[in-house]
Amino acid sequence: MTLAQKIDLSTTTDITPEGSDYETVRRVIEMLTLDYQAQPSLETLAARLGLSPSQLQKTFTRWAGLSPKGFLQAVTLDHAKRLLGREGMPLLETSIELGLSGPGRLHDLFVTHEAMSPGEWKAKGAGLTIRYGFHPSPFGQALVMATERGLAGLAFADPGGEAACFDDMAKRWPQAHYVADQAATAPYASRIFDPQKWSGEQPLRVVLIGTDFQVRVWESLLEIPLGKAVTYSDIAARIGQPTASRAVGAAVGRNPISFVVPCHRALGKSGALTGYHWGLTRKRAMLGWEAGKICG
């Protein structure tokens, strides 16, 4: 029996107005990805989903602040290349210099973080109590995990995948004590997915649980502002290990606090989305959703 089979995986009531829209968005993204060259029209997409064009238009506008066409433009390779920029200076430096002082950062989720000690990491969670709960989010069911020191985990699941999602996260800290406590995790979910609650005056507290190398990579990810992107090689250079792009990619893939630690903003050199632990469809959704927040 898995850990997930032993514990409560029920979800709370919907805390985000657009939470129920993600299934429609997910299906549209998958259709656009599979049929990208054909550029299916709004009418074609709506017919495949059994919706009217106006219903589909309203769903996307409500969810991301963008039309389906605008969303498609926000997740294209050309847009990814624009996110990466071509200013001639190291891209992460560009992101930090322009983003922290520019309008992009005004839309961002402010985070303050600390890292657990190497000894605590090696203990695999022993002596650590992690409270968890599933909550609806703009990107499907979100598994929120928190310790007394702050947010420690954020993962995502499609319907029916909650148990596997929990197992995936729990295996990272197998000796920890897990407590189902949606009342404790609901405030985190509410703040993370509601841009109206993103405030530099009250930053979200997170705790990074990983190896020293992983934590350095995750800290670099935290420096990427909304509306910007970097490559794995940029991150490797930033942490002083320019030949470690592959190891950086592995560390990015092990990021336990998805979206908050924005590993979805790490792209391949060409601007390709490459991989994402919780699925490329969700990565596209996150980038498009963020584009809508900036445009809005």
Catalytic residues: 263
Task: Identify the weakest region by mean pLDDT among 95-109, 175-189, 264-278.
Answer: 95-109
From the candidate CATH numbers 3.40.50.11900, 3.50.50.60, 3.30.420.10, 3.30.160.70, the one assigned to the domain spanning 129-197: 3.30.160.70
The pTM of the whole model exceeds 0.75: yes
**Where are the domains positioned within the chain?**
22-123, 129-197, 212-295
Q: Give yes or no for residue 63 having a pLDDT over 90.
A: no
Does CATH place domain 212-295 in 3.50.50.60? no
Q: How far apart are CA 86 and CA 82, in angstroms?
A: 8
% of residues, the chain, pLDDT over 70: 78
Whether 212-295 and 129-197 are alike in CATH topology: the answer is no
Sorting pLDDT into bands at 50, 70 and 90, what band is 120?
A: confident
The superfamily CATH assigns to domain 22-123 is Homeodomain-like (1.10.10.60)
